[in-house]
Chains A and B, each alone.
Chain A
Amino acid sequence: MKTIEKLSENILDKLSIDFLRSQVLKNAYGNNDTRIAAMDPRMLLVWYLFFGLVPWFVHSVPFLIGCFLLVAVTTWMARVAGLVLFLFAVGVFSQTGYLFLVTLLFGGDASAVVPLLTLTLKVATVSLASVTIFSGLDPDKLANGLMWYGCPERLSFSISYAYRMLPLLMEEFQNVLLSYRLRGNPPAHDTFGGKIRYLVYQVQIVMHAFYPLMLNTAKRSRTTVEVLEIKGYRYAAVNKEVKKIKLSALRLTNDDLLFAAVSFLWVAVAILIATLV
């Protein structure tokens, strides 16, 4: 009940769109000077392929702990925004943590920990690896990396365009939401029932606010589409030369090799320990 009360009070105030916006911006643009951000996206994508897939198929706890520690370090290196980490924690808990509580509640004991720990470690490792890549790399680099592996140009353009539009969209969304707040008449929320109604009302507003946002965006995009035409977007999409120029900026450095080597060594040691135990 306390939580509901808190949530009802907070949803538009403390967890304001302004806060969300600053966190998203921080995440997208605020950490382009970290070690992770400076690395070659192609190498990181391969790295991610390993840490995003392999943990699912391995059941050895020492190996998983090893992987988890490594991605925890890379997440720290990528200086990921607080909100993302919070969502990560909530996500992991909602996946497995509650199972442990339920087990305890129904008379289970600590022996339930080990199987649950395996699952939790898998989920956590994969999530943190994703967080490192998708939040540590600047979206443009990520897009270039994907393009190098043959993803269509349209996908990579969409990624960087989405990030370019993000601040604008969030600001606009915030303004539309404010219109609802300034002119709306929320239900009284002194009683418990009122608080629930208030919570529902707020969620409704957030959903309603998407409609004007869509229309405003549609209006904007008219110019953007014409501009893309003039700036030769369609021309570039079919021109191999352009792709080559774009990707020529990608370069493997010693840092990348070092990072790959350290990761490899670490995993090797983890496997060794896993076989010894």
Chain B
Amino acid sequence: MNVVEIEHLTYAYPGADSPTLRDVSLTIEQGDFLAVVGNNGCGKSTLCKTLNGLIPQFITGDYRGRVSVCGLDAAAADVGALAQKVGYVYQDFENQIVRPTVLDDASYACLNYAQPDYLERGRQALAQCGLQGREDDFIWQLSGGQTHLLALAGVLSLQPEVIILDEPIAQLDPQHADRIYAVLRRLNEEYGKTIIVIEHHTEYIADFCKHVLLLKDGRVQWKLPAGDALQRVDELQSCNIFPPQVTIAADRLRKAGEYHADRLPATVEEGCAVFAPRARVAPDAQAQPAPRGAEVLRFRDVSVSYRSVKGEPHRVFQNLDLSIHKGDKVALIGSNGAGKSTLMKLMVCLLKPSQGEIYLNGRSLRGARPEGLSREVSMVYQNPEDMFIRDSIEADIAYAMKVRGLPDADARTQALLERFRLAGLRSRDGRLLSGGQMRRASLAIGIALDPGILLLDEPTANLDIATRKEIMHTLEDMKQVTETVMIATHDMQLVCEWAERIIVLCGGHVVADGPRDAIFRDRRLLETVGIRPPEIFAMGRALEPGAACYTIDDFVRRFTGRAPGAGVQEAAV
């Protein structure tokens, strides 16, 4: 049975020149787990919003064609009736939560639709999302992943047949992302819900989804079973979708004539059957540890605690000792709440340690003010919107230089706009830019004063994969500009490709500190801290316990396709 039937749907936003969706025809079967993929702006979110009637009932525009969901005509049926058939979880899901406490929010929709057992329904939805026991918590007590689950529970409480999620895991660390997908799988398999996700993370598509729908320029390219869809590496990449690293590696080997199996693998398990180590391995170019520069930052015996709303202050660090040297390219990793942001705030003097000393270039930060440090340390927030304090990005970049009366402020602003490819957007308000542009603007603002030390909080969070690649490229480019850079991140691909030194925080302590080999080869450490290396690293490990492939290039250098019908013996060079 089809839960969704779309016939010749064409839709243009009010005032838009060209339609966002063009002649879309599509059916989705009941019980499907569908991933919608496509370039930025190809109409994914728009398509999903036609399913619950928001388009055209709430957002008008030029709408032609027919959308039917569970037998209801989405353009004509009551939005309330549709909401009980189709649930929608937004990408910016925090804004979806409108009530102060957990149970209240989960049951809010049921209350509004006058269901007398609304609390019971809310509780049931929370249990389905694994949030039982948190009913009476305030929403700001939840972590990012739990907040997402709550947004899902709020939608689920009406027990809709179709649930749509817009980029469910873009902001989450891998543990939370796994949890979300485990919940979705349960909803799909146990409760028979039809799940539609807009998703860029093809690893998750490979593991969880049944079908993939590719949209391009508002048109449906195809809808295929997930396994077949991920075989189309070139087509996906042309739409800025990056198949799993394992698939890309196999595709690369196939193009070199070294891969002989019919299908490309999509997961590590499938990869085990089709890859084999090369007989002779070109020795890795051993990265020589660069000589350590002078010490620029030093934490001595630092303890920090936060006030909390109730009860004892929350202690973040206890007796922390750490040195950062000139020229270090540090990645700071650790689970949510391990103290990454706190450490950065200490460095720019936004927080004072309750005990201990911090030295910047040999000078104690006790009594220093953030205003006085801006030329030595600069910080770029996780949320770039909070960095836009003027009405154009040009004014934003120039601000710190202008207020200091630097003579070459204008020239330098121009140079930065060029460097970060923002020249055409100079007069736009930062908030109105796309994710990647916003991020580039915030980086330009961060290095405007040419600081010796640059701190970046999650520079690749919340970006789709194509934009993320672009930002990673920008960061690589910035290595030449700024001497010492520290990045706090969950993004292990970024860590592997960019960092020269990795500091692992856990429970308020530095539990490991060293180059990537020291961190990623330490299996026990990875398990205790909950770090997940990139998929390609795991693939290498699964084939050969001693392998350490951080990038697809590393992998292809070391492994090749297994010969047809052969064991693990050969490899042409």
Contact = CB atoms under 8 A, between A and B. Distances in A.
A172 interface: yes
Interface in A173-230: 175-176, 178-186, 208-209, 211-212, 215-216, 219-224, 226-230
B222 interface: no
Contacts of A228: 98
Given A179-B389, A181-B371, A230 B52 contact: yes
B112 A233 contact: yes
A29 B139 CA distance: 11
B374 A183 contact: yes
A206 to B, nearest CB: 12
A29 B400 contact: no
A248 to B, nearest CB: 9
Nearest to A13: B369
Given A183-B399, A183-B445, A235-B113, A223 B92 contact: yes
Interface string A244-266: 01100000000000000000000
Given A185-B371, A227-B90, A246-B111, A140 B100 contact: yes
Q: How large is the interface on B (under 10, 10 to 19, 20 to 34, 35 or more residues)?
A: 35 or more
Contacts of B383: 175
Contacts of A241: 114
A236 B371 contact: no
B1 to A, nearest CB: 24
A176 B386 CA distance: 5
Interface string B159-200: 000000000000000000000000000000000000000000
Contacts of A172: 386
Nearest to A162: B100
A246 B112 CA distance: 9
A75 to B, nearest CB: 19
B429 A163 contact: no
Nearest to B311: A30
Contact of B96 (A29, A168, A227, A232): A227
A174 to B, nearest CB: 9
A139 interface: yes
Nearest to B82: A230
A83 to B, nearest CB: 12
A209 B399 CA distance: 14
Contacts of A30: 309-310
A186 B348 CA distance: 16
B83 A164 contact: no
B502 interface: no
A236 to B, nearest CB: 4
B307 interface: yes
Contact of A139 (B100, B108, B139): B100
Given A183-B445, A245-B114, A246-B111, A29 B371 contact: no
A243 to B, nearest CB: 10
A182 B58 contact: no
Interface size class of A (residues with CB under 8 A): 35 or more
B267 to A, nearest CB: 34
A161 interface: yes
A25 B97 CA distance: 18
Nearest to A219: B431
Given A178-B370, A186-B371, A227-B90, A216 B114 contact: no
Interface in B322-364: 348, 350
B118 A245 contact: yes
Contacts of B52: 230
B170 to A, nearest CB: 14
A242 B112 contact: yes
Nearest to A140: B100
A160 interface: yes
A224 B111 contact: no
B100 A216 contact: no
Nearest to A232: B112
A58 to B, nearest CB: 38
Contacts of A2: none
B320 to A, nearest CB: 20
Contacts of B95: 220-224, 227
A260 B378 CA distance: 58
Interface in B387-420: 387-389, 399-400, 403-404
Contact of B348 (A182, A219, A245): A182
A26 interface: yes
A193 B364 CA distance: 28
A22 interface: yes
A26 B431 contact: no
A181 B374 CA distance: 9
A231 interface: yes
A97 interface: no
A275 interface: no
Contact of A230 (B88, B116, B118): B88
A3 interface: no
Contact of A208 (B112, B113, B310, B389): B389
Contacts of A221: 95
B154 A29 contact: no
Contacts of B92: 220, 223
A30 B114 CA distance: 31
A167 interface: yes
A19 B54 CA distance: 41
A157 B224 CA distance: 45
A222 B348 CA distance: 34
B79 A164 contact: no
B109 interface: yes
Given A26-B309, A140-B104, A223 B90 contact: yes
B90 A239 contact: no
A209 B385 CA distance: 13
A22 B403 contact: no
Contacts of B54: 226, 229-230
B147 to A, nearest CB: 11
Contacts of B369: 181
Contacts of B400: 183-185
A171 to B, nearest CB: 9
B386 A179 contact: yes
Contacts of A232: 80, 83, 109, 112-113
A22 B444 CA distance: 33
B114 A182 contact: no
Question: Top 4 closest A-B pairs, CB basis?
Answer: A232-B112, A236-B112, A175-B386, A183-B400
29 contacts: A18-B307, A22-B308, A26-B309, A29-B100, A30-B309, A139-B100, A140-B99, A163-B100, A168-B94, A168-B140, A181-B370, A182-B379, A184-B371, A184-B403, A185-B404, A211-B389, A216-B431, A220-B92, A221-B95, A226-B90, A230-B54, A231-B109, A235-B80, A235-B113, A236-B113, A236-B114, A239-B114, A242-B111, A246-B111
Given A164-B139, A227-B96, 16 more contacts: A22-B307, A25-B309, A140-B99, A175-B386, A182-B374, A183-B449, A185-B374, A212-B385, A212-B388, A223-B90, A227-B90, A228-B98, A230-B54, A231-B112, A233-B112, A246-B111
